[in-house]
Chains A and B, each alone.
Chain A
Amino acid sequence: MKASVEIRSAPHIKGPRSVEQIMANVVYSLLPICAFFVYQYGLSAAASILVVTAACLLTERAFVRTGTQAGSLSDFSATITGLLLALTLPPGFPLWMGAVAGISAIALGKALFGGIGFNVFNPALVGRAFVQAAFPAAIATYTPSFLPGRFTEFIPSSLAWPLMAPADTAAWLKAMQYDAMASASPLARWKFEGFVTPAWDLVTSLAGHMAVGPSPLLIVLCGAYLALRRFMDWRIPVAVLGSAGLSALIIYAAFGTKYPDPFFMLFSGGLVLGAVYMATDMATSPVTPRGMWLYGGLIGVLTVMIRYYSGLPEGVMYAILIGNAATPLIERVTQPTPFGKGASIHARKSASYTMHPDYISREEASAKTPKKRFLKNKPKKT
């Protein structure tokens, strides 16, 4: 047989980017954050991460088996959902409820819509919203970080039997000589007691016993890795944090005493985690650059509004879900301007050459020489 010639459609080369590569890198960038979470809360946090992620992966597997889904386990997307979901749950969240969260995240948030790429809402947040509605008491029960003996002992509520109410952590904490104060999240403490935790303590999450998630600083660093390698769009976190900070600043400047300073707003609760990892979920955020700004801005403002004017202490989850719902609409109104149809059909002043030569030679003394900064071999005026 002679050598055969195959035909394919151009382009005949392919960039190195793949879904697996993007998702794997998101998982890698989440690992330090998970490690920090375990460092804060010990055994319970580790178990929570494992159980929730396993629940997500098993659910994904079950749906992929049905043959109706496009994804596969090797694409890591269910792993991301699991890790993120575990990070948003309280560390002492009963493990069986965590499994429910994981199953509902993949089943309701992703598989129902057709699998990877088709989901309308961020699956991790769908899972969290589900358990927030189902188990409102458990999800509001936080424990302080850096408890002694956290690496040898579970938080008692973690080990509740399935379908059983979790053990009371307040009594457990009391036995350990901690006041109930430390086990309320900074946002709840501000909302219900008017106590503003210093912003720097919140940034590092390292200042003693606080009911906070992993350090926002660490999350920003991990997000910066993703953004620099272009596995995540930098515009969305910048827009979310910018608009949240700005609206908090405006409210703070207008009605100072009643509201906390914008730094508290930015670093408390799940805003940084939400801005960097949840709002940037590719399938549920706009693809258009202008849409990303609008979407991020909307989430930031909504977060502040929900936190300030609703009965809930935390608003990031609902803000992002509303942002997800608005995404198709945002995309519709922010389509990119095609080449040659925008304002760029008029020449920019900084260009290498002027459009219509009113000169022949650039060396002519009277010639209008366009300035080219930063470039070698720039034209010399004589």
Chain B
Amino acid sequence: MKLLSYFRGEAFQRGVHPPSCKLTADRPIRRLPFAPRLVVPLSQHIGKPSRPIVRVGEEVVRGQPIAEANGWLSVPQHAPATGVVEAIELRPSARGPWTESIVIRVYEASTQEVLWGAPQDLDAFPPQDIILAVQRTGMVGLGGAAFPSHAKLSVPEGASVETLVVNGCECEPYLTCDHRMMVEHARDLMVGIRHAMRATGASRAIIGVEDNKPEAAAAMRAALPPGGNVFVEEVPTKYPQGSEKMLITALFGVEVPSGKLPLSLGMIVNNVGTLAALGRLLPAGQGLVERVVTVTGPGVGRPGDYRVPLGTPLSFVLDYAGAPASVANDSRQVILGGPMMGQAIASLDVPVTKGVSGVLVFRGEDMAAREGRRTYPCIKCGECVESCPMGLNPSMLGMLALRREYDAMGGQYHLGDCFECGCCTWICPSNIPLVQQFRVAKQILREKAAA
């Protein structure tokens, strides 16, 4: 079956099928209340951190810019709530190191309306002005990479874009925030697609949705604009379809050449959540102050998709979602993002940032099943080779990593192509932490290259 759909050009090669566990797919998005203090890190995106333009003690209204873009590959930050700037100081971040953040004490009596914003008629804008408008919203890729959207939408000199691919795959288990966005905000999405197409000069847009989300596809089909140049395409569910290269293969039957961007094929890929948010923010001329986060996992009492003000500490999110931290002596794991590629965090003081698509909580007993498994040496079953979407040989890479042959891994065995999707580790019957080894190897190779 797998082979058949591959030859029909409807799937990428290899990949895995982890259980989807989309507990929250049928629940509407709800709003999370404001935490007493919000922490807005200046670096929530790939690129240079923003420059704060407020001072300690200054009052800010919701939606007001509080930090400006520092150069081209950077975005401004907006106040996620009406309140007063309490501090601009180092605060813990998801990645580990403390980063410069703006702390806002929220006015409890405020209505928390977005009061900042200048409605604009984007259809009158030339493409480069749309891109500037996108930068002003502070938008980054909401799928998790947090790459500044305006940089992604701007077509470099000499290249041309024909197709805007809209990524609605959401292949990670548990996560449903994009799914709910597609169902509930299909109209905003179409507005976002229209502006993105104008900004890039694309003549068509194709929304790729995995076929386990039929109601999302139906909602988007119902909202399609009359022009007939936006298509909704269901692709067979498989992990990691949400990787842009895999989605392009599934849609067009072509592989993006190694080391190149989809741009080389005349395509730009954007996440549905990003475009839907743009579709709402751009015409209103507002900034990104909140995002939809899936709070789920076996350790969450009230799982759901929540509209979370940026900067809300995770402890507050988890308390509200029914995963309080007060149970004594209970160990658990909190993951930002999905279970396959998400990042476990060490501190619940970490705020929700623009790139956080999900918060997952696994209890001790959920982890125990995995903990109890022993690790064998590689039995060379070849399952990892048959599941690596990038066509690598994780078995060989893993054995080389044990022997610290990092140069061979990077050169002969194409370690650089690995994007750490986790398929090999998920399938490995010997329970070898392959991705972890690869991450270490890549870091060492990077350091070697820099030295």
Contacts and interface: CB of A to CB of B under 8 A. Distances in A.
Instruction: Please say whether chains A and B are actual partners in one complex.
Output: yes
Interface string A3-25: 11111111111110111011000
Contacts of A71: 376
A190 interface: no
Contacts of B10: 352, 372, 375
Given A352-B9, A361-B229, A10 B340 contact: yes
Interface stretch (A45-53, A302-310, A311-319, A342-350): A342-350
B444 interface: no
Given A3-B329, A12-B360, A339 B254 contact: no
A306 B369 CA distance: 49
Q: Taking chain B's interface residues, is the majority helix, strand, or loop, or is none over half, making it mixed?
A: loop
Nearest to A376: B234
Given A117-B430, A339-B245, A344 B340 contact: no
B204 A360 contact: yes
A339 B229 contact: no
B33 interface: no
A5 B332 contact: yes
B348 interface: yes
A338 B392 contact: yes
B111 interface: no
Contacts, number: 245
A352 B252 CA distance: 6
Interface residues of A, number: 72
B346 interface: yes
Nearest to B361: A5
Nearest to A18: B429
Contact of B431 (A1, A5, A18): A18
Contacts of B257: 340-341, 345
Interface string B243-272: 001000111111111111000011000000
A6 B429 contact: no
Contact of B329 (A1, A11, A17, A286): A1
A17 B429 contact: yes
Contacts of A347: 252-254
Interface string B91-105: 000000000000000
A336 B256 contact: no
B235 to A, nearest CB: 8
Contact of B345 (A5, A282, A354): A5
Interface in A349-382: 349-357, 360-363, 372-375, 377
B162 to A, nearest CB: 6
Nearest to A71: B376
B377 interface: yes
A2 B328 CA distance: 5
B330 A12 contact: no
Contacts of B255: 339-340, 342, 344-345
Contacts of A157: none
Given A11-B422, A344-B254, A350-B9, A3 B385 contact: no
A12 B344 contact: yes
B381 to A, nearest CB: 5
A353 B166 CA distance: 14
Contact of B163 (A2, A341, A357): A357
Contacts of B117: none
A222 to B, nearest CB: 18
A115 interface: yes
Interface in B169-200: 173
Interface in B421-437: 422, 425-431, 433, 435-436
B417 interface: yes
Interface in B222-248: 227-229, 231, 233-234, 245
Given A10-B341, A289-B385, A3 B330 contact: yes
Given A12-B362, A13-B173, A117 B344 contact: no
A138 to B, nearest CB: 33
B373 interface: yes
B63 interface: no
Nearest to A360: B229
Nearest to A346: B254
A287 interface: yes
B8 A350 contact: yes
A338 B256 CA distance: 11
A1 B339 contact: no
Contacts of A14: 369-370, 373, 425-426, 431
20 contacts: A4-B330, A5-B344, A8-B344, A9-B436, A10-B340, A10-B435, A12-B335, A15-B16, A18-B429, A286-B382, A288-B382, A288-B385, A336-B392, A348-B9, A349-B253, A350-B7, A351-B9, A353-B163, A357-B203, A373-B8
